């Protein structure tokens, strides 16, 4: 039985009088790939950003391994060394080359010596297939390449869990594949991942568990088989049907 | 000297400061506006000439130009420092205003002109009814900035002897031995003038904003 | 062209004066940059009370003429017990004044770069300050360069008024030449030409700086006044 890496209890987030989500419970075990799906604006991205404390939740608790990271006095910067995040808009450091982007955290946060950091950074870039672009600036890379550098940058910190916030939503269709492929390999290698995405093919093939969120709460949760072929709720089936139709993949309906 | 008279003395210079500004700014506006249109629509050669005008007048410190124009004008036409100074500042401002309007005209997309001509308007009509109204709105922020600059630059005429705010502050600081107070008062008056101007122009800008649905 | 003759006659004098002018510009610019950066950061990242002070400073120094600020420092401060030399007063006035303008240029650029790059920096464990220093500022300073470039040129022209407190800059030399030759127009025309040349040179320098610090592929479309 693999142990939980991320435990979320009763998480709540509000903006003024709007409740984004309320009383969310979630457990992410080691090696799991959790895919969160749902209509836009249901708080999926906000939830993800709470997991690494970029957004502060208004209620509830989050544990990373045994440490409650929502407790008062937690060193957030330290926590974020162990949680990797990949953004929809890549958010690479524009003034640095691909290699320097990956190196920055190693040198400034982990205080690694230059040589060591450079070697490790190159390793990570190789892992995502971009060793030959190490000296390029983000502005000189395609969207798919930029995102892969983003993944390398997060991986370089050796995180316990990787969070992906709609990693392919800002990409041209033909570039989505290269990023999903990197993510698939990552999952197969045993990385614990939480992915917010609309890519149903990826969800079906790679996810250990799919979480369907709508209007700020979890409607249904289960294995891909469960959700796609035996959904408990009509809304689940409706949403999956709509999305897979949108993305051109036909599903055999129950 | 009691404080009331103190402030009054300095504040009486405000009339001159305002006078200089109210001559310089509008004349700069008129000249700058005309030159901007000439520069944009007048063809390559004229455009180059306007570039020289703008580059020279904006590349020389205002006080240098002020001195040159003042000595030229008081020498030839025998103008008072007040008039010589005001007109000089107006000429200087016209170069900056020309650039502001030129930028604004160019920001109004060329397609607007095309659409206007397509409806049958002449170039003049297109400029007057289509380009100008849009251009004004685009120019207001930069122009407010220029207005504030002219108010502040009016203090330069101190150097040619116009009894405006700064000169008055200097006089009274000498007679009362209260230089700090005198110049703080002067600063306060200038600040008030600039502040009011910014506020008023801000309202104008808001009133003229074309409604758009975000 | 009398001004040309004057230029030749007082060449050494004018060169020395121009040197002082450039010195005033450099010091004012540097002082203004350091203070301006602090003000910009305070306005964006500091707690309410501190950013309020920064805003007030900027409003005051941009809302009053430099000449008044100069006189306040040189003539006014002594009555409070602080007496500064002409040159020091000029440095201070120019620096404090320039800081207010530079703060606005820098603030605009930092805010443009800010939120998403801050998020990216924090996501790999960098602290707020580390992110500002290693991620935001390197990009913001480059972004600010085209519009910020207006400031050194503006400052160069602004220094011309300090001759009114007897600082021996280019204008002071012009005044001296005018007194000696009884030819004010020629004298001031001559220095006008020198100022123009200095502005051209400075402009070229700034354009070169822009090219040199450009981030490959990162095309920032900012209008140069």
C166 touches B at CB < 8 Å:
no
Size of interface B-C (CB pairs under 8 A): 109
CA closest to B154 among chain C residues: C65
ipTM of the complex: 0.89
Per residue in C69-128, pLDDT tens?
Answer: 999 999 999 999 999 999 999 999 999 999 999 999 999 999 998 899 999 999 999 999
What is the phi-psi region of residue A111: left when phi exceeds 0, alpha when psi lies from -120 to 50, beta otherwise?
left
CA distances, A87 to each of A147, B63, B72, B134 (Å): 8, 53, 65, 39
User: Do B and C share at least 3 CB pairs under 8 Å?
Assistant: yes
The encoded tokens of residue A91 equal 């958010």
- Reduced to 3 states, what is the DSSP secondary structure of residue A153? helix
The maximal CA–CA distance of chain A, rounded, in angstroms, is 57
In tens digits, chain A (254 residues) has pLDDT values of: 579 999 999 999 999 888 999 999 999 999 999 999 998 877 899 999 999 999 899 999 999 998 999 999 899 889 999 999 999 999 999 889 999 999 999 998 999 999 999 999 999 999 999 999 999 999 999 999 999 999 999 999 999 999 999 999 999 999 999 999 999 999 999 999 999 999 989 999 999 999 999 888 999 999 999 998 888 888 888 888 777 676 655 444 43
Chains linked to C by 3 or more Cβ pairs within 8 Å: A, B
Q: What is the rounded distance in angstroms from the CA atom of residue A71 to the CA atom of residue A80?
A: 15
- Chain B: closest CA distance from residue C100 (Å): 14
Enumerate residues 6+ apart whose C-beta is below 8 A from B11: B165, B185, B189
Chain C hits for A52, Cβ within 8 Å: 123
Q: What is the rounded distance in angstroms from the CA atom of residue C152 to the CA atom of residue C157?
A: 9
- Chain B: closest CA distance from residue C72 (Å): 5
Q: For position C225, what pLDDT does the model report? A: 33
Please say whether the beta carbons of A82 and A5 come within 8 A: no
- Chain C: closest CA distance from residue B72 (Å): 7
Q: For position C214, what pLDDT does the model report? A: 86
Global confidence as pTM: 0.83
Q: What is the rounded distance in angstroms from the CA atom of residue A104 to the CA atom of residue C125?
A: 10
Vertex A161: Cα angle to A160 and A167 (nearest 5):
145
Kindly report the number of other CB atoms within 10 A of residue C30's CB atom. Answer: 13
Mean pLDDT of C135-161: 94
User: Do A and B share at least 3 CB pairs under 8 Å?
Assistant: no
CA closest to A53 among chain C residues: C123
Nearest to C125 among A81, A87, A141 (CB): A81
A112 touches C at CB < 8 Å:
no
Per residue in B94-145, pLDDT tens?
Answer: 999 999 999 999 888 677 887 887 877 888 888 888 888 888 888 998 999 9
* Mutation target among B96, B98, B179, B192 for the C interface, most CBs of C within 10 A: B179
Phi, psi dihedrals of residue A226, rounded to the nearest 5° = -55, -55
- Chain C: closest CA distance from residue B77 (Å): 15
Q: What is the rounded distance in angstroms from the CA atom of residue A115 to the CA atom of residue C196?
A: 50
Residue with tokens 């030159």: B35
3-state per-residue secondary structure call for B80-148: CHHHHHHHHHHHHHHHHHHHHHHHHHHHCCHHHHHHHHHCCCCHHHHHHHHHHHHHHHHHHHHHHHHHH
Please say whether the beta carbons of A76 and C121 come within 8 A: no
CA closest to B165 among chain C residues: C68
Chains linked to B by 3 or more Cβ pairs within 8 Å: C
Nearest to A105 among C117, C125, C217 (CB): C125
Question: Is residue C10 scored above 80 in pLDDT?
Answer: yes
According to DSSP, residue C125 is labeled T
Phi, psi dihedrals of residue A138, rounded to the nearest 5° = -50, -40
C125 touches A at CB < 8 Å:
yes
């Amino acid at each position: 039985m693999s142990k939980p890496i991320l435990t979320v209890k009763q998480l709540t987030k509000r903006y003024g009088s709007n409740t984004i989500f309320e009383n969310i419970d979630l457990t992410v075990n080691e090696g799991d790939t959790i895919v969160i799906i749902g209509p836009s604006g249901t708080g999926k991205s906000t939830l993800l950003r709470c997991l690494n404390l970029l957004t502060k939740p208004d209620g509830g608790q989050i544990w990373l391994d045994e440490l409650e990271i929502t407790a008062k006095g937690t060193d957030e910067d330290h926590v974020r060394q162990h949680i990797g995040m990949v953004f929809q808009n890549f958010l690479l450091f524009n003034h640095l080359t691909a290699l320097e982007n990956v190196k920055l955290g190693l040198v400034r946060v982990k205080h690694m010596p230059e040589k060591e950091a450079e070697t490790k950074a190159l390793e990570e870039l190789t892992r995502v297939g971009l060793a030959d672009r190490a000296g390029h600036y983000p502005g000189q890379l395609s969207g798919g390449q930029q995102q892969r550098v983003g993944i390398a940058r997060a991986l370089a910190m050796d995180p316990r869990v990787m969070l992906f916030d709609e990693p392919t939503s800002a990409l041209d269709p033909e570039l989505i594949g290269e990023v999903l492929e990197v993510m698939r390999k990552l999952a197969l290698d045993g990385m614990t991942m939480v992915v917010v995405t609309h890519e149903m093919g990826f969800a079906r093939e790679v996810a250990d568990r799919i979480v369907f969120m709508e209007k700020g709460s979890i409607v249904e949760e289960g294995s891909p088989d469960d959700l796609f072929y035996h959904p408990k709720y009509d809304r689940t089936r409706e949403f999956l049907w709509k999305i897979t139709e949108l993305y051109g993949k036909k599903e055999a309906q129950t | 000297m009691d404080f009331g008279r103190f402030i009054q003395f300095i504040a009486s210079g405000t009339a001159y400061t305002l006078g200089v500004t109210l001559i310089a700014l509008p004349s700069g506006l008129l000249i700058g506006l005309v030159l901007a249109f000439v520069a944009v629509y007048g063809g390559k050669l004229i455009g180059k000439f306007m570039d020289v005008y703008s580059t020279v007048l904006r590349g020389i410190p205002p006080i240098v130009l002020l001195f040159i124009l003042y000595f030229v004008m008081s020498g030839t036409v025998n103008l008072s420092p007040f008039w010589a100074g005001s007109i000089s500042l107006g000429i200087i401002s016209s170069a900056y205003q020309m650039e502001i309007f030129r930028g604004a005209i160019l920001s109004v997309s060329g397609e607007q002109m095309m659409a206007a001509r397509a409806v049958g308007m002449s170039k003049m009509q297109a400029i007057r009814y289509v380009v100008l109204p849009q251009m004004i709105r685009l120019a207001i922020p930069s122009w407010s900035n220029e207005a504030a600059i002219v108010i502040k630059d009016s203090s330069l005429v101190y150097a040619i002897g116009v009894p405006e705010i700064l000169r008055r502050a200097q006089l009274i600081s000498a007679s009362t031995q209260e230089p700090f107070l005198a110049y703080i008062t002067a600063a306060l008056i200038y600040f008030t003038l600039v502040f009011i101007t910014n506020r008023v122009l801000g309202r104008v800008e808001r009133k003229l904003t074309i409604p758009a649905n975000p | 062209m009398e001004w040309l003759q004057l230029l030749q006659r007082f060449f050494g004098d004018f060169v020395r004066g121009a040197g002082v002018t450039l010195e005033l510009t450099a010091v004012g610019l540097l002082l203004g940059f350091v203070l301006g950066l602090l003000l910009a950061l305070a306005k964006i990242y500091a707690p309410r009370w501190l950013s309020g002070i920064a805003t007030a400073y900027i409003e005051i120094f941009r809302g009053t003429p430099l000449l008044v600020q100069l006189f306040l420092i040189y003539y006014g401060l002594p009555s409070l017990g602080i007496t500064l030399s002409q040159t020091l007063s000029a440095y201070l006035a120019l620096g404090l004044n320039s800081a207010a303008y530079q703060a606005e240029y820098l603030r605009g650029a930092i805010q443009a770069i800010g939120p998403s790059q801050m998020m990216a920096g924090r996501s790999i464990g960098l602290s707020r300050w580390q992110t500002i220093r290693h991620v935001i500022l390197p990009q913001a300073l480059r972004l600010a360069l085209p519009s910020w470039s207006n400031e050194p040129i503006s400052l160069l022209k602004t220094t011309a008024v300090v001759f009114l407190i007897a600082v021996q800059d280019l204008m002071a030399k012009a005044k001296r030449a005018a007194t000696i030759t009884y030819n004010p127009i020629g004298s001031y025309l001559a220095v006008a030409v020198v100022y123009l040349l200095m502005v051209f040179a400075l402009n070229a320098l700034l354009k070169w700086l822009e090219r040199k610090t450009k981030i490959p592929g990162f095309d920032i479309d900012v209008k140069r006044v």
